[in-house]
Chains A and B, each alone.
Chain A
Protein backbone atom coordinates (compact mmCIF):
# COMPACT_ATOMS: atom_id res chain seq x y z
CA UNK A 1 0.00 0.00 0.00
CA UNK A 2 1.28 3.49 -0.87
CA UNK A 3 0.58 6.51 1.38
CA UNK A 4 -2.19 8.79 0.08
CA UNK A 5 -2.89 6.56 -2.88
CA UNK A 6 -5.81 4.30 -3.72
CA UNK A 7 -9.29 4.01 -2.28
CA UNK A 8 -8.33 1.30 0.21
CA UNK A 9 -5.70 3.55 1.77
CA UNK A 10 -8.15 6.41 2.23
CA UNK A 11 -10.84 4.05 3.50
CA UNK A 12 -8.54 2.62 6.19
CA UNK A 13 -7.17 6.04 7.10
CA UNK A 14 -10.65 7.57 7.41
CA UNK A 15 -11.77 4.75 9.70
CA UNK A 16 -8.67 5.09 11.86
CA UNK A 17 -9.11 8.86 12.10
CA UNK A 18 -12.60 8.53 13.62
CA UNK A 19 -11.33 7.89 17.19
CA UNK A 20 -9.01 10.92 16.85
CA UNK A 21 -11.98 13.10 15.88
CA UNK A 22 -13.99 11.79 18.83
CA UNK A 23 -11.10 12.47 21.22
CA UNK A 24 -10.60 15.95 19.79
CA UNK A 25 -14.28 16.84 20.04
CA UNK A 26 -14.49 15.61 23.62
CA UNK A 27 -11.54 17.70 24.89
CA UNK A 28 -9.23 14.73 25.36
CA UNK A 29 -5.51 14.52 24.50
CA UNK A 30 -4.75 13.18 21.03
CA UNK A 31 -1.11 12.22 21.41
CA UNK A 32 -1.53 8.64 22.64
CA UNK A 33 -4.07 7.69 20.01
CA UNK A 34 -2.06 9.64 17.40
CA UNK A 35 0.90 7.39 18.10
CA UNK A 36 -1.28 4.27 17.84
CA UNK A 37 -2.65 5.62 14.53
CA UNK A 38 0.92 6.09 13.26
CA UNK A 39 1.92 2.53 14.23
CA UNK A 40 -1.18 0.95 12.60
CA UNK A 41 -0.79 2.97 9.39
CA UNK A 42 2.89 2.01 9.25
CA UNK A 43 1.93 -1.66 9.55
CA UNK A 44 -0.40 -1.25 6.56
CA UNK A 45 2.07 0.67 4.42
CA UNK A 46 5.18 -1.33 5.34
CA UNK A 47 3.35 -4.43 4.24
CA UNK A 48 6.14 -7.03 4.08
CA UNK A 49 8.33 -8.33 6.88
CA UNK A 50 11.42 -7.16 4.99
CA UNK A 51 10.13 -3.58 5.01
CA UNK A 52 9.14 -3.81 8.68
CA UNK A 53 12.49 -5.25 9.78
CA UNK A 54 14.35 -2.51 7.87
CA UNK A 55 12.18 0.14 9.50
CA UNK A 56 12.64 -1.34 12.98
CA UNK A 57 16.43 -1.50 12.51
CA UNK A 58 16.47 2.12 11.32
CA UNK A 59 14.21 3.23 14.17
CA UNK A 60 16.33 1.46 16.81
CA UNK A 61 19.53 3.00 15.44
CA UNK A 62 18.19 6.57 15.25
CA UNK A 63 16.48 6.39 18.64
CA UNK A 64 19.54 4.91 20.33
CA UNK A 65 21.73 7.64 18.81
CA UNK A 66 19.43 10.43 20.00
CA UNK A 67 18.97 9.04 23.51
CA UNK A 68 22.68 8.32 23.90
CA UNK A 69 23.66 11.75 22.58
CA UNK A 70 21.27 13.46 25.01
CA UNK A 71 23.18 11.79 27.88
CA UNK A 72 26.60 12.67 26.43
CA UNK A 73 25.56 16.27 25.75
CA UNK A 74 24.62 16.80 29.40
CA UNK A 75 28.27 16.16 30.32
CA UNK A 76 30.09 17.91 27.48
CA UNK A 77 29.60 19.90 24.30
CA UNK A 78 32.01 18.56 21.74
CA UNK A 79 31.72 19.31 18.04
CA UNK A 80 33.59 16.16 16.87
CA UNK A 81 31.18 14.03 18.95
CA UNK A 82 28.21 15.78 17.30
CA UNK A 83 29.75 15.12 13.87
CA UNK A 84 30.22 11.46 14.75
CA UNK A 85 26.58 11.10 15.78
CA UNK A 86 25.37 12.94 12.66
CA UNK A 87 27.52 10.67 10.48
CA UNK A 88 26.06 7.56 12.15
CA UNK A 89 22.54 8.96 11.84
CA UNK A 90 22.98 9.77 8.13
CA UNK A 91 24.81 6.50 7.36
CA UNK A 92 21.68 4.44 6.45
CA UNK A 93 20.49 7.21 4.08
CA UNK A 94 23.95 7.50 2.51
CA UNK A 95 24.09 3.72 1.98
CA UNK A 96 20.56 3.77 0.50
CA UNK A 97 21.58 6.52 -1.94
CA UNK A 98 24.91 4.85 -2.80
CA UNK A 99 23.01 1.63 -3.42
CA UNK A 100 21.70 3.12 -6.64
CA UNK A 101 25.31 3.27 -7.94
CA UNK A 102 27.03 0.40 -6.14
CA UNK A 103 25.15 -2.92 -6.40
CA UNK A 104 26.82 -4.29 -3.23
CA UNK A 105 25.33 -1.48 -1.17
CA UNK A 106 21.88 -1.87 -2.67
CA UNK A 107 20.24 -3.43 0.38
CA UNK A 108 18.47 -0.58 2.20
CA UNK A 109 15.05 0.12 0.73
CA UNK A 110 13.07 2.14 3.20
CA UNK A 111 10.17 4.43 2.42
CA UNK A 112 10.59 7.78 4.17
CA UNK A 113 14.26 7.25 5.07
CA UNK A 114 15.16 10.77 3.87
CA UNK A 115 12.47 12.50 5.88
CA UNK A 116 13.06 10.45 9.01
CA UNK A 117 16.81 11.16 8.77
CA UNK A 118 16.10 14.90 8.59
CA UNK A 119 14.03 14.59 11.76
CA UNK A 120 16.71 12.72 13.70
CA UNK A 121 19.61 14.95 12.58
CA UNK A 122 17.66 18.05 13.52
CA UNK A 123 17.16 16.75 17.06
CA UNK A 124 20.89 15.96 17.39
CA UNK A 125 21.90 19.45 16.23
CA UNK A 126 19.44 21.21 18.52
CA UNK A 127 20.66 19.07 21.43
CA UNK A 128 24.17 20.28 20.69
CA UNK A 129 22.83 23.86 20.64
CA UNK A 130 21.22 23.30 24.04
CA UNK A 131 17.73 23.96 22.66
CA UNK A 132 16.58 20.38 23.25
CA UNK A 133 17.75 18.98 26.58
CA UNK A 134 15.70 15.85 27.07
CA UNK A 135 13.55 13.73 24.78
CA UNK A 136 11.09 11.13 25.95
CA UNK A 137 11.12 7.77 24.15
CA UNK A 138 7.45 8.00 23.17
CA UNK A 139 7.56 11.61 21.94
CA UNK A 140 10.73 11.02 19.93
CA UNK A 141 9.36 7.78 18.44
CA UNK A 142 6.15 9.57 17.48
CA UNK A 143 8.09 12.46 15.96
CA UNK A 144 10.47 10.18 14.03
CA UNK A 145 7.73 7.92 12.66
CA UNK A 146 4.86 10.45 12.41
CA UNK A 147 2.92 8.83 9.64
CA UNK A 148 1.20 11.63 7.67
CA UNK A 149 4.50 13.19 6.59
CA UNK A 150 6.73 10.10 6.62
CA UNK A 151 6.92 9.57 2.85
CA UNK A 152 7.03 13.09 1.36
CA UNK A 153 7.23 15.62 4.19
CA UNK A 154 6.72 18.41 5.11
CA UNK A 155 9.67 18.24 7.50
CA UNK A 156 8.51 19.29 10.94
CA UNK A 157 10.67 20.49 13.85
CA UNK A 158 10.83 18.60 17.13
CA UNK A 159 10.24 21.53 19.52
CA UNK A 160 7.22 22.68 17.50
CA UNK A 161 5.89 19.13 17.24
CA UNK A 162 6.31 18.54 20.99
CA UNK A 163 4.41 21.76 21.78
CA UNK A 164 1.47 20.42 19.74
CA UNK A 165 1.70 17.08 21.55
CA UNK A 166 1.47 18.74 24.93
CA UNK A 167 -1.52 20.84 23.92
CA UNK A 168 -5.06 19.58 24.35
CA UNK A 169 -6.75 21.84 21.79
CA UNK A 170 -10.23 21.78 23.33
CA UNK A 171 -13.48 21.37 21.43
CA UNK A 172 -13.61 24.76 19.69
CA UNK A 173 -9.97 24.80 18.57
CA UNK A 174 -10.26 21.18 17.47
CA UNK A 175 -13.32 21.92 15.33
CA UNK A 176 -11.22 24.54 13.56
CA UNK A 177 -8.33 22.07 13.16
CA UNK A 178 -10.75 19.49 11.81
CA UNK A 179 -12.24 21.97 9.35
CA UNK A 180 -8.78 23.01 8.12
CA UNK A 181 -7.69 19.37 7.99
CA UNK A 182 -10.61 18.22 5.84
CA UNK A 183 -10.30 21.31 3.62
CA UNK A 184 -6.60 20.63 3.00
CA UNK A 185 -7.22 16.94 2.36
CA UNK A 186 -9.80 17.89 -0.30
CA UNK A 187 -7.51 20.44 -1.94
CA UNK A 188 -4.62 18.00 -1.80
CA UNK A 189 -6.70 15.31 -3.48
CA UNK A 190 -7.81 17.77 -6.17
CA UNK A 191 -4.22 18.87 -6.81
CA UNK A 192 -2.82 15.37 -6.81
CA UNK A 193 -5.45 13.10 -8.31
CA UNK A 194 -7.14 15.48 -10.70
CA UNK A 195 -4.87 18.33 -11.81
CA UNK A 196 -1.47 16.63 -11.74
CA UNK A 197 -2.93 13.44 -13.24
CA UNK A 198 -4.52 15.43 -16.06
CA UNK A 199 -1.27 17.27 -16.73
CA UNK A 200 0.54 13.95 -16.87
CA UNK A 201 -1.90 12.02 -19.05
CA UNK A 202 -3.00 14.82 -21.39
CA UNK A 203 0.21 16.81 -21.63
CA UNK A 204 3.50 15.26 -20.55
CA UNK A 205 2.91 11.66 -21.63
CA UNK A 206 1.82 12.75 -25.11
CA UNK A 207 5.05 14.65 -25.87
CA UNK A 208 7.70 13.15 -28.17
CA UNK A 209 10.82 11.99 -26.31
CA UNK A 210 13.12 14.47 -28.03
CA UNK A 211 13.06 17.72 -29.99
CA UNK A 212 13.54 21.33 -28.91
CA UNK A 213 9.88 22.40 -28.84
CA UNK A 214 8.79 19.18 -27.16
CA UNK A 215 11.45 19.75 -24.49
CA UNK A 216 10.25 23.33 -23.91
CA UNK A 217 6.69 22.07 -23.61
CA UNK A 218 7.89 19.29 -21.27
CA UNK A 219 9.64 21.91 -19.10
CA UNK A 220 6.37 23.80 -18.53
CA UNK A 221 4.31 20.64 -18.18
CA UNK A 222 6.74 19.02 -15.74
CA UNK A 223 6.89 22.20 -13.62
CA UNK A 224 3.12 22.31 -13.21
CA UNK A 225 2.90 18.53 -12.80
CA UNK A 226 5.50 18.47 -10.05
CA UNK A 227 3.93 21.40 -8.25
CA UNK A 228 0.40 19.96 -8.20
CA UNK A 229 1.67 16.48 -7.43
CA UNK A 230 3.99 17.47 -4.59
CA UNK A 231 1.87 20.31 -3.18
CA UNK A 232 -1.08 17.90 -3.30
CA UNK A 233 0.81 15.33 -1.21
CA UNK A 234 1.91 18.02 1.21
CA UNK A 235 -1.64 19.33 1.62
CA UNK A 236 -2.96 15.84 2.31
CA UNK A 237 -0.18 15.25 4.87
CA UNK A 238 -0.87 18.60 6.56
CA UNK A 239 -4.62 17.95 6.51
CA UNK A 240 -4.23 14.52 8.14
CA UNK A 241 -1.85 16.01 10.71
CA UNK A 242 -4.44 18.65 11.65
CA UNK A 243 -7.01 15.93 12.37
CA UNK A 244 -4.43 14.38 14.72
CA UNK A 245 -3.90 17.77 16.40
CA UNK A 246 -0.47 18.36 14.85
CA UNK A 247 0.06 21.59 12.90
CA UNK A 248 2.59 20.32 10.37
CA UNK A 249 4.17 23.36 8.64
CA UNK A 250 3.17 24.45 5.15
CA UNK A 251 5.37 23.35 2.26
CA UNK A 252 4.27 25.64 -0.59
CA UNK A 253 3.15 29.25 -0.75
CA UNK A 254 2.28 30.28 -4.30
CA UNK A 255 5.77 29.68 -5.75
CA UNK A 256 4.68 30.89 -9.18
CA UNK A 257 4.54 34.43 -7.75
CA UNK A 258 8.23 34.44 -6.72
CA UNK A 259 10.06 37.61 -7.69
CA UNK A 260 13.56 36.20 -7.38
CA UNK A 261 15.23 32.92 -6.46
CA UNK A 262 15.48 33.74 -2.74
CA UNK A 263 11.76 34.44 -2.81
CA UNK A 264 11.24 31.17 -4.69
CA UNK A 265 13.01 29.11 -2.02
CA UNK A 266 10.83 30.73 0.64
CA UNK A 267 7.77 29.47 -1.26
CA UNK A 268 8.77 26.09 -2.77
CA UNK A 269 9.36 23.00 -0.63
CA UNK A 270 9.60 25.42 2.27
CA UNK A 271 10.22 22.83 4.96
CA UNK A 272 13.26 21.49 3.07
CA UNK A 273 14.70 24.90 2.17
CA UNK A 274 14.32 26.22 5.73
CA UNK A 275 15.86 22.99 7.08
CA UNK A 276 18.82 23.48 4.74
CA UNK A 277 19.02 27.15 5.71
CA UNK A 278 18.97 26.45 9.45
CA UNK A 279 21.17 23.36 9.64
CA UNK A 280 23.59 23.71 6.71
CA UNK A 281 23.80 27.29 5.41
CA UNK A 282 23.77 29.22 8.71
CA UNK A 283 26.09 26.69 10.36
CA UNK A 284 28.69 27.11 7.64
CA UNK A 285 28.25 30.90 7.51
CA UNK A 286 28.53 31.22 11.32
CA UNK A 287 31.71 29.11 11.41
CA UNK A 288 33.23 31.12 8.55
CA UNK A 289 32.37 34.45 10.19
CA UNK A 290 33.62 33.43 13.63
CA UNK A 291 36.83 32.01 12.20
CA UNK A 292 37.22 34.99 9.82
CA UNK A 293 37.94 32.59 6.97
CA UNK A 294 37.36 35.13 4.20
CA UNK A 295 38.41 38.77 3.74
CA UNK A 296 34.97 39.74 2.43
CA UNK A 297 32.40 38.27 4.81
CA UNK A 298 29.85 37.96 2.01
CA UNK A 299 32.10 35.25 0.50
CA UNK A 300 30.95 33.03 3.39
CA UNK A 301 27.41 33.48 2.12
CA UNK A 302 28.26 32.60 -1.49
CA UNK A 303 30.18 29.46 -0.53
CA UNK A 304 27.42 28.65 1.95
CA UNK A 305 24.83 28.79 -0.83
CA UNK A 306 26.87 26.50 -3.07
CA UNK A 307 27.42 23.95 -0.25
CA UNK A 308 23.76 24.09 0.80
CA UNK A 309 22.31 23.71 -2.67
CA UNK A 310 24.78 20.97 -3.60
CA UNK A 311 23.79 19.11 -0.41
CA UNK A 312 20.15 19.51 -1.38
CA UNK A 313 20.90 18.21 -4.87
CA UNK A 314 22.81 15.19 -3.51
CA UNK A 315 20.00 14.46 -1.05
CA UNK A 316 17.72 13.83 -4.03
CA UNK A 317 20.15 11.25 -5.38
CA UNK A 318 23.70 10.76 -6.61
CA UNK A 319 22.95 11.07 -10.33
CA UNK A 320 24.58 13.76 -12.43
CA UNK A 321 21.27 15.57 -12.95
CA UNK A 322 20.83 16.13 -9.19
CA UNK A 323 24.40 17.36 -8.80
CA UNK A 324 23.94 19.81 -11.69
CA UNK A 325 20.54 20.81 -10.27
CA UNK A 326 22.17 21.64 -6.92
CA UNK A 327 25.03 23.56 -8.54
CA UNK A 328 22.57 25.46 -10.77
CA UNK A 329 20.55 26.65 -7.78
CA UNK A 330 23.71 27.45 -5.81
CA UNK A 331 24.90 29.72 -8.61
CA UNK A 332 21.46 31.34 -8.97
CA UNK A 333 21.37 32.10 -5.24
CA UNK A 334 24.83 33.71 -5.43
CA UNK A 335 23.76 35.85 -8.41
CA UNK A 336 20.59 36.79 -6.52
CA UNK A 337 22.68 37.77 -3.50
CA UNK A 338 25.03 39.89 -5.61
CA UNK A 339 22.05 41.69 -7.17
CA UNK A 340 20.52 42.26 -3.72
CA UNK A 341 23.66 43.67 -2.17
CA UNK A 342 25.33 45.52 -5.05
CA UNK A 343 22.47 46.87 -7.16
CA UNK A 344 20.08 49.17 -5.31
CA UNK A 345 17.74 49.25 -8.31
CA UNK A 346 16.96 45.54 -7.86
CA UNK A 347 14.87 46.20 -4.75
CA UNK A 348 12.92 48.88 -6.64
CA UNK A 349 12.37 46.50 -9.55
CA UNK A 350 10.90 43.92 -7.17
CA UNK A 351 8.40 46.49 -5.91
CA UNK A 352 7.43 48.05 -9.24
CA UNK A 353 4.08 47.02 -10.68
CA UNK A 354 5.25 46.15 -14.19
CA UNK A 355 8.85 45.25 -13.32
CA UNK A 356 7.72 42.83 -10.61
CA UNK A 357 5.60 41.01 -13.20
CA UNK A 358 8.65 40.76 -15.43
CA UNK A 359 10.72 39.40 -12.53
CA UNK A 360 8.00 36.85 -11.75
CA UNK A 361 8.15 35.67 -15.36
CA UNK A 362 11.96 35.47 -15.35
CA UNK A 363 12.03 33.64 -12.00
CA UNK A 364 9.39 31.20 -13.23
CA UNK A 365 11.59 30.32 -16.22
CA UNK A 366 14.70 30.03 -14.07
CA UNK A 367 13.16 27.50 -11.70
CA UNK A 368 11.32 25.71 -14.52
CA UNK A 369 14.65 25.19 -16.25
CA UNK A 370 16.03 23.88 -12.96
CA UNK A 371 13.19 21.37 -12.82
CA UNK A 372 13.92 20.36 -16.40
CA UNK A 373 17.46 19.48 -15.27
CA UNK A 374 15.97 17.71 -12.24
CA UNK A 375 13.55 15.71 -14.38
CA UNK A 376 16.41 13.91 -16.13
CA UNK A 377 15.13 14.67 -19.62
CA UNK A 378 18.29 16.58 -20.58
CA UNK A 379 20.87 14.04 -19.35
Chain B
Protein backbone atom coordinates (compact mmCIF):
# COMPACT_ATOMS: atom_id res chain seq x y z
CA UNK B 1 0.00 0.00 0.00
CA UNK B 2 2.80 2.45 0.97
CA UNK B 3 4.58 1.87 -2.35
CA UNK B 4 1.37 2.44 -4.23
CA UNK B 5 0.77 5.76 -2.41
CA UNK B 6 4.35 6.85 -3.11
CA UNK B 7 3.95 5.94 -6.79
CA UNK B 8 0.80 8.12 -7.01
CA UNK B 9 2.57 10.96 -5.22
CA UNK B 10 5.67 10.69 -7.44
CA UNK B 11 3.47 10.76 -10.52
CA UNK B 12 1.63 13.90 -9.38
CA UNK B 13 4.80 15.68 -8.24
CA UNK B 14 6.73 14.67 -11.36
CA UNK B 15 9.40 13.06 -9.14
CA UNK B 16 11.49 9.93 -9.72
CA UNK B 17 11.33 6.96 -7.34
CA UNK B 18 13.22 7.76 -4.14
CA UNK B 19 13.52 11.44 -5.01
CA UNK B 20 10.99 12.61 -2.41
CA UNK B 21 12.26 12.30 1.15
CA UNK B 22 9.64 11.08 3.67
CA UNK B 23 9.77 14.35 5.61
CA UNK B 24 10.00 16.80 2.70
CA UNK B 25 7.60 19.70 3.22
CA UNK B 26 5.76 19.42 -0.08
CA UNK B 27 4.00 22.80 0.21
CA UNK B 28 6.99 24.75 1.49
CA UNK B 29 9.14 23.36 -1.36
CA UNK B 30 6.50 24.25 -3.94
CA UNK B 31 6.15 20.58 -4.97
CA UNK B 32 2.45 20.25 -4.18
CA UNK B 33 -0.27 22.88 -4.66
CA UNK B 34 -4.07 22.89 -4.29
CA UNK B 35 -4.50 21.12 -7.61
CA UNK B 36 -1.85 18.56 -6.64
CA UNK B 37 -3.71 17.81 -3.41
CA UNK B 38 -7.06 17.28 -5.11
CA UNK B 39 -5.42 15.16 -7.84
CA UNK B 40 -3.82 13.08 -5.09
CA UNK B 41 -7.17 12.56 -3.35
CA UNK B 42 -8.90 11.61 -6.62
CA UNK B 43 -6.14 9.14 -7.57
CA UNK B 44 -6.12 7.57 -4.08
CA UNK B 45 -9.87 7.05 -4.38
CA UNK B 46 -9.58 5.66 -7.93
CA UNK B 47 -6.62 3.37 -7.32
CA UNK B 48 -7.01 2.40 -3.66
CA UNK B 49 -10.73 2.92 -3.06
CA UNK B 50 -10.04 5.21 -0.08
CA UNK B 51 -12.08 8.40 -0.12
CA UNK B 52 -10.67 11.62 1.29
CA UNK B 53 -12.91 14.69 1.31
CA UNK B 54 -11.31 17.99 0.20
CA UNK B 55 -11.52 19.60 3.67
CA UNK B 56 -11.09 16.45 5.71
CA UNK B 57 -7.40 17.09 6.33
CA UNK B 58 -5.52 20.32 6.91
CA UNK B 59 -2.36 21.09 4.99
CA UNK B 60 -0.34 20.47 8.13
CA UNK B 61 -1.73 16.94 8.27
CA UNK B 62 -0.57 16.09 4.74
CA UNK B 63 2.48 18.27 4.27
CA UNK B 64 5.00 15.43 3.79
CA UNK B 65 4.98 12.00 2.06
CA UNK B 66 5.24 10.30 5.48
CA UNK B 67 2.19 12.16 6.79
CA UNK B 68 0.19 11.45 3.62
CA UNK B 69 0.98 7.73 3.91
CA UNK B 70 0.00 7.73 7.58
CA UNK B 71 -3.32 9.45 6.88
CA UNK B 72 -4.20 7.07 4.04
CA UNK B 73 -3.18 3.97 6.04
CA UNK B 74 -5.36 5.09 8.94
CA UNK B 75 -8.34 5.00 6.60
CA UNK B 76 -7.47 1.74 4.83
B54 is contacted by which of A282, A300, A347, A350 (Cβ under 8 Å)? A282
Spot the interface stretch: B18-26, B27-35, B60-68: B27-35
CA distance A81 to B39 in the complex (A): 26
CA distance A102 to B14 in the complex (A): 50
Quick one: closest B residue to A304, CB to CB? B35
Please determine whether B34 and A347 come into contact, CB atoms closer than 8 angstroms: no
Please determine whether A283 and B54 come into contact, CB atoms closer than 8 angstroms: yes
Please determine whether B54 and A286 come into contact, CB atoms closer than 8 angstroms: yes
B34 is contacted by which of A130, A281, A350 (Cβ under 8 Å)? A281
Please determine whether A131 and B35 come into contact, CB atoms closer than 8 angstroms: no
B53 is contacted by which of A130, A262, A281, A300 (Cβ under 8 Å)? A130
Distance in Å: Cβ of A96 to nearest Cβ of chain B? 27
Count of chain B residues near A, Cβ 8 A: 15
- Known contacts A129-B56, A340-B30; is A298 also within 8 Å of B42 by CB? no
Q: Which of chain A's residues 249-300 have a Cβ closer than 8 Å to chain B?
A: 262, 277-279, 281-283, 285-286, 289-290, 297-298, 300
Q: Is A126 an interface residue (CB 8 A)?
A: yes
Please determine whether A298 and B35 come into contact, CB atoms closer than 8 angstroms: yes
Chain A residues near B42 (CB-CB < 8 A): 286, 289-290
CA distance A235 to B75 in the complex (A): 38
Q: Is A301 an interface residue (CB 8 A)?
A: yes
Chain B residues near A131 (CB-CB < 8 A): 53, 55-56
Distance in Å: Cβ of A147 to nearest Cβ of chain B? 25
Please determine whether B35 and A285 come into contact, CB atoms closer than 8 angstroms: yes
Chain A residues near B37 (CB-CB < 8 A): 282
- Known contacts A289-B38, A289-B39; is A278 also within 8 Å of B33 by CB? no
- Known contacts A262-B33, A301-B35; is A286 also within 8 Å of B41 by CB? yes
Please determine whether A282 and B30 come into contact, CB atoms closer than 8 angstroms: no
- Known contacts A129-B55, A129-B56, A131-B56; is A282 also within 8 Å of B33 by CB? no
A347 is contacted by which of B30, B38, B45 (Cβ under 8 Å)? B30
CA distance A131 to B37 in the complex (A): 18
Distance in Å: Cβ of A121 to nearest Cβ of chain B? 13
Highest count of chain A CB atoms <10 Å: which of B33, B34, B37, B53? B34
CA distance A43 to B6 in the complex (A): 55
Residues on B facing A (Cβ under 8 Å): 30, 33-35, 37-39, 41-42, 45-46, 53-56
Task: Please name the 7 residue pairs, one residue from A and one from B, whose CB atoms are nearest each other, closest first.
Answer: A129-B53, A301-B35, A282-B54, A289-B42, A282-B38, A285-B38, A278-B55
Listed by A's residue number, 27 A-B pairs whose Cβ atoms lie within 8 Å are: A129-B53, A129-B54, A130-B53, A131-B55, A157-B55, A262-B33, A277-B34, A278-B54, A278-B55, A279-B55, A282-B54, A285-B35, A285-B38, A285-B39, A286-B54, A289-B38, A289-B42, A290-B45, A290-B46, A297-B39, A298-B35, A300-B35, A301-B35, A337-B35, A340-B30, A340-B33, A347-B30
